[in-house]
Structure 1
Amino acid sequence: MSMPTPEERAGEAFAEAAAEAVRTSVMAFRLVMAIADAVRRQQQKRAGQEDELADAEKASAEASEEVKKFLPDDIATALLEGADWPQIAQQLMALKRAGVDLETMLPRVGEITASVRDQVAENAARVARDGTEEWGKALRETLPAGPVREAILSSPAWPEMAKTMATLNERGVDVRAILASAHEEGVGVDQAVAKVLAVAEVPTTSRDATLSYGPLTVGLDVPRDLDLGDRERALRQLAIESENPRFVRMVREAMPGAEREADLLVSARQWPLVAARMADMEGKGQQVAEHLVQLSKDPAWREGPQSQMGRRLVEAAVNALRKPVGTSTAPGPKVSTAAARSTSPSVGPTRAAKGAAPTTPGVAAHRDAGPAPKSGKTR
């Protein structure tokens, strides 16, 4: 038998790395599904209406069509060939019966798995950190208190989820980013199941208001029906419609020579919440401009993928506004402790008058929801 040539050995190494990347992305898919299923079970259990899982063979046939339609081909193939596919299929069909729109959810999960696949392909190795306690701590630092985090930590599958997180971390994946994305999906599952079960006796909080839970708007009064998808409406809801142009100018003046980046910040989906923070500070007699200048003095937001620049700018702006002048604007990994202790979203008016400090913390931003995902396969 002849020895493989260097080119052949390189090709085999590339193929193995690619296969490893796909296997890891499938693990990420399983993790997101486990979280979504835990939320579904928790919601149905509270209502005393937990469903039995569908027949595995029937669920596999039905779910396979959904997976092939919305996931990248390599990831879909690996998922369908896995020994645990029947169980995953049952989870998917249970979510569908509970009211979750898989045609909306699966493309977003496809984005997550594709991102994981690419991360593993680009990262050869990272120092391993494992153990349930560590990942429980990471979960509390990454996700705000609420139904999603409660469902994860109380699920019988939590120990296995923790092991999966440790393995993903070993393979160079940003587990906290996956958890943040999975939290958004969990919120959607929670709301969809609650709507079908009609368990909520109070008006349903909008997705934007729910996802705006955390450091971004802690201490601000945010309406339940916040709609960040409609810029004009969001500005009206936050009572800053007439002041917004001035706040935009303040940002541009604070970032000389970075006009493009300033435009990315003020055009970001969550900009109205940043502007609301500025208005709140002015009402309290604080010098907003002095805080904003930190964006130029400490441009830590420049570090990272260009595609996430807008998100980093939003986080940096909020950090600059909330922290004392001269403090780093680099976004930290932890969710605000004050926000994590808050459990009741605000239902009152947004801002009655300048100078009136809010008395109830609102629902504030945990993470940037980002643009609406495109349907179809993720590449």
Structure 2
Amino acid sequence: MTTPGQEGDPFADAMREAVGTSVEAWRLMMAVADAVRRYQQRKKDREADLPPAEEAVNEVASTVRTLVPPDISAALMGGADWPRMAQQMAALRRAGVDLDGILPRMAEVAVTVRDSVAENAARVSREGTGEWERLLRETLPAGPVREAILSSPTWPDIAATMARLDERGVDVRGILASAHNEGVGVDRAVARVLGANAAPAASRDAMLSYGPLTTSLDAPKDLDLSDRARALRQLAISPAENERYGRWVQEAMPGREQEAGLLLAARQWPLVAARMAKMESEGKPVREHLTRLMKDTSWEQGASSQLGVRLVVAANEALRRVPWEGAGSGSRVNAAAARSRSTSMDPTERRAVAKGAAPAEALVAPHRPESAPASNRKKTR
């Protein structure tokens, strides 16, 4: 008869797999914490290198043995990547993070994962990092933690870890939520040491975009539309998704390649892409909505210098409306004039658009019927 620790014992094998998976979860949380530390230090040009491996191991080994359950701590410290994890922990401590506070919480998550794997069979196939970027957008709020993950050089490794955990029946969303909470703590702790503001005030781009463009979207307060790659990361839009949404716009505007290009090159295009991503995740017919861009071309009216701005407004309106909603004479909207009144536009731009707006018909005040025909009016004395 084999004993519970021997090779070939199904119970022992299952427990080894469960503990191994809990170590994977630990790696994920530690990678997130380290990414946040680096991100916060990098913003101040004070990113610190990891301490020497041997020095880090000596510094944190006893802490790990004390605060982490024996089976998980033994698996952690027996792994080939233990020196690097020790370096990450030591770097966090030196950056101002309280390991005595964070490690027990990470241990709780690892124990939950261990027990979950022991009870569930792995059966979900991985689909690549695109799936995990969508999961991040749906699970984590916009902010420094989400951006730190997506901008980290180790993001592909983080996504691969998430896929392995998911294959084994682990609740990846739950782990991410826990990792996010710890990441916020790391962000604040490192910010205090660096004298940085961990909760930045709303950026100019965020304030100017506030309104119809950001309604119901998870837009960060420090939105930076001057850096397209960063803006897409902040909104959790992968390069593949951005390319796909751009292709959908071009397909929705046949023969209008120049105008489609202006929309895609517009400063606020990432917000349009974010709305498309949100709709896609909700199962809404994004491409059907985009057909409104050619059914209602009021965006053509106005100064040519502001055409890209009007197209952004028109695309956002097309996405927010039901695709079969008509654009009759009573509901036709002059995009330039509407944009000139928008709170999401720079006052200087608003004045420029207002000057260039030449509506084909008088605008009707919202929620107010047009004047009745003269024949129906009562005569006055």
Question: TM-score w.r.t. structure 2 length?
Answer: 0.51
Deviation at 1:127, TM superposition (A): 2.2
Contact kept in structure 2, 1:129 and 1:166, CA below 8 Å: yes
- Which of the residues 170, 182, 185 maps onto 1:185? 182
Report the equivalent of 1:35: 32
Report the equivalent of 2:154: 157
**Alignment map for 1:19-34 (pairs within 5 Å):** 19-34=16-31
**Alignment map for 1:59-208 (pairs within 5 Å):** 59-200=56-197
In the TM superposition, what whole-angstrom CA distance separates every residue of 1:311-349 from its partner, at most 9, and x where no partner exists?
A: xxxxxxxxxxxxxxxxxxxxxx99xxxxxxxxxxxxxxx
Equivalent pairs counted in the alignment come to 207
CA RMSD of aligned residues (A): 2.9
Compare 173-182 and 60-69 and name the one that shifted more: 60-69
Report the equivalent of 1:344: none
- Which of the residues 54, 57, 60 maps onto 2:54? 57
1:121 alignment partner, SS class: helix
Counterpart Cα distance in 2 of 1:77 and 1:8: 15
Deviation at 1:27, TM superposition (A): 0.5
Counterpart Cα distance in 1 of 2:80 and 2:127: 25
Contact kept in structure 1, 2:191 and 2:198, CA below 8 Å: no
- What are the ranges of 5 or more consecutive residues in structure 1 without an aligned counterpart? 205-217, 220-332, 335-379
Contact kept in structure 2, 1:130 and 1:167, CA below 8 Å: no
Counterpart Cα distance in 2 of 1:168 and 1:115: 12
Contact kept in structure 2, 1:36 and 1:189, CA below 8 Å: yes
Letter of the 1:61 partner, please give it: N
Determine which structure has more spread, i.e. the larger CA radius of gyration.
2
Letter of the 1:185 partner, please give it: E
Counterpart Cα distance in 2 of 1:72 and 1:104: 15
Contact kept in structure 2, 1:29 and 1:113, CA below 8 Å: yes
CA separation of 1:83 and 1:194: change in aligned 2, threshold 3 A: same
CA separation of 1:133 and 1:11: change in aligned 2, threshold 3 A: same
Counterpart Cα distance in 2 of 1:179 and 1:8: 32
Question: TM-score w.r.t. structure 1 length?
Answer: 0.51
In the TM superposition, what whole-angstrom CA distance separates every residue of 1:152-186 from its partner, at most 9, and x where no partner exists?
A: 00000000110110000011100000000000000
**Alignment map for 1:247-286 (pairs within 5 Å):** none
**Alignment map for 1:229-308 (pairs within 5 Å):** none
- What are the ranges of 5 or more consecutive residues in structure 2 without an aligned counterpart? 202-214, 217-280, 283-381
Where relative contact order (Cα < 8 A, 6+ residues apart) is larger, the structure is 1
Counterpart Cα distance in 1 of 2:75 and 2:8: 20
CA separation of 1:34 and 1:7: change in aligned 2, threshold 3 A: closer
Contact kept in structure 1, 2:145 and 2:180, CA below 8 Å: yes
Deviation at 1:117, TM superposition (A): 0.2
Contact kept in structure 1, 2:4 and 2:11, CA below 8 Å: no
